[in-house]
Amino acid sequence: MDSNSNTVVVTGFGSFRQHLVNSSWEAVKEMSKLGLGENIDLHIMQLPVAYRKAKELVCKIWGTLQPLLTVHIGLASSSKAIIILEQCGKNKGYKEMDVCGFCPEDGCCLLDGPERIESTINMKTLWKNISVEGIDVIFSRDAGRYICDYTYYTSLYYGNGRAAFIHVPPLSKLVTADFLGRALQIIILEMLKQCGEKNE
């Protein structure tokens, strides 16, 4: 599958549990105002915190837009003021119900899928190359086995690894949507540098 070499899709999630405002979507909206440079055709989309619907929308992204890269942003509700770069998505272990009260059959994302799929973006290299003033950035190999991880795995599967996942903290006086939007712009531009290097 050929990608549209200048299309980038960035998604955030809708509200769930006590999080009536999901910082991930607020940050994505702010980032879209800044853009990713005039050469990038940026599309943003809100995903619901629902396994089936999120999977359906992710399949649609890869099937119709065929982007160079899809970056999913999620809220790490337990997270302190840190941004987490997730390296891989896992296929099994989904036991928590979503906002519709649904849980995947056998706790599994794709029945015949590999145990885990790695992003083609090297998060460790990314982490070394970026600096976001005012917030710590870390990288992780466990996206948490909920909708975030499930969405990431689906996207890595259908996008042949050309997906990334970033966990952001809840909004606060210090961590505003505007601040997170700028942080996402810095991080995603650095991801695109890696994509460019792979294509050379």
Q: Is 86 a catalytic residue?
A: yes
Q: Which of 26, 30, 86, 109 is catalytic?
A: 86
Q: Is 148 a catalytic residue?
A: yes
Q: Which of 72, 88, 109, 167 is catalytic?
A: 167
Nearest to 171 by CA among 19, 10, 17, 11: 19
DSSP readout, 113-162?
S-SEEE-SS-HHHHHHH---TTSEEEEES---SSHHHHHHHHHHHHTTT-
Interatomic CA distance for residues 47 and 44, integer angstroms = 10
Q: Catalytic residue positions?
A: 86, 148, 167
